[in-house]
Amino acid sequence: MNTLLKLENVYKKYPSFTLKDISFEVKPGQIMGFIGRNGAGKTTTLKCIMNLVHYEKGKISAFDTDMSENELENKQRIGFALSELNYYPNKTIRQLMNVTKRFYKNFDDEKFNEACRLFNLNIDKKLEELSSGMKVKYSVAIALSHHAELLILDEPTSGLDPVSRDEILDIFRQIVKNKDRAILFSTHITSDLDKCATDISYIHDGELIYTGTKPDFINSYLFIKDKSMNKNLLNEYISYKEFDDHIEGLIDVSKKDLFIQNKIEPLEPDLEQIMVYIERSKTENESFNL
């Protein structure tokens, strides 16, 4: 099986927002970071995948079968979690597990207990007593316990402290290391993707503006920090900021020689710099008075 998940021109229209022909695919061994600003359409896309939101046009396939026609069977093979667990807060992890396992024919109690020990999860704690990081680990433990081949997670590291985030990312890398499973997770925390993502899908205002490998995405751009304050080159930037002692911004890699000729050495950007300046370029005509 070459593809675990495939979206083809998925379209969903709301009165004030439209998801515009989203297409990407997730293959075994990949950790796909689904990035974009809050409100860009990440959660809506994930809900469309899981048929929690009805989309008007397009097609979604999982494990080489139509998701809408094989929903129940495919969901047995998918581990899905929204950004915050808030159901049955007074129930313990053990109680929640005993309810959840009824929905999965391949649920493995021993695997669940093993994951909880690995994650230092006390299964007799109530959900409301868990930190955000522990709730994420619980969601992952459930997914691993029914042998999910694809994990779809909405903002799994949002609100976590740096240590908990690092632990979660280590778990993600372990999950895909045998190249038989994959993870799709939405996030706006680009530093997490620097550490673990193999691929990127980038959504802006309901429209996918990139999908592909992380190295290809990063290598498409260069970061400039120009201490010479050369304003003759301002039109060559995707977008930029002017400071008192320098100009910094993002350029397309094709502009590299132009800056070198002006004795400005381009730098490799990180994902945060790319996202900040791309978003800035798309909103630079918007202004407000302080």
Please write the tens of the pLDDT for every residue from 170-205: 989 999 999 999 999 998 888 889 889 999 999 999
Question: End of a domain among 213, 242, 262?
Answer: 213
Say whether both 153 and 262 belong to one domain: no
Kindly state whether residues 125 and 253 are assigned to the same domain.
Answer: no
Are 181 and 247 within one domain? no
Domain contains 290? no
HSE-CB for 227 with a 13 A CA cutoff: 1
Q: What is the mean pLDDT of residues 77-103?
A: 84
Residue 277 is part of which domain span? 219-283
What mean pLDDT is predicted for residues 104-112? Answer: 91
Tell whether 251 is covered by a domain: yes
CA quadruple 30, 110, 78, 194: dihedral sign: negative
Residue 138 and residue 198 in one domain: yes
Same-domain status, 272 and 143 = no
CA–CA separation, 80 and 31 (whole Å): 15
The three state secondary structure string of the chain is: CCCCEEEEEEEEECCCCEEEEEEEEECCCCEEEEECCCCCCHHHHHHHHCCCCCCCEEEEEECCEECCCCHHHHHCCEEEECCCCCCCCCCEHHHHHHHHHHHCCCCCHHHHHHHHHHCCCCCCCEHHHCCHHHHHHHHHHHHHHCCCCEEEEECCCCCCCHHHHHHHHHHHHHHHCCCCCEEEEEECCHHHHHHHCCEEEEEECCEEEEEEEHHHHHCCEEEEEECCCCHHHHHHCCEEEECCCCEEEEEEHHHHHHHHHCCCCCECCCHHHHHHHHHHHHHCCCCCCC
Q: Are residues 115 and 208 in the same domain?
A: yes
pLDDT attached to residue 288: 44
Residue 10 in any domain: the answer is yes
**Same-domain status, 60 and 94:** yes
Local confidence band at 284 (pLDDT 50, 70, 90 cut-offs): low
Is there a domain that residue 289 lies in? Answer: no
Whether residue 290 has pLDDT greater than 60: no
Among 58, 80, 84, 90, smallest CA distance to 208 is for 58
285 pLDDT higher than 80:
no
CA distance 2 to 260: 42
Residue that the structure tokens 């970061």 belong to: 223
153 with 18, same domain? yes
Q: How many domains does the chain have?
A: 2
Domain-terminating residue out of 166, 198, 213: 213
Q: Do 231 and 166 belong together in one domain? A: no
On whether both 209 and 225 belong to a single domain, the answer is: no
Q: Which residues of 158-190 are buried (b: 16+ CB within 10 A; e: fewer)?
A: bbbeeebbebbbebbeebbeeeebbbbbbbbbb
Same domain, 103 and 245: no
Last residue of a domain, one of 180, 213, 246: 213
Q: What is the pLDDT of residues 141-161, one digit of tens each?
A: 888 889 899 999 988 887 778
Residue 35 within a domain: yes
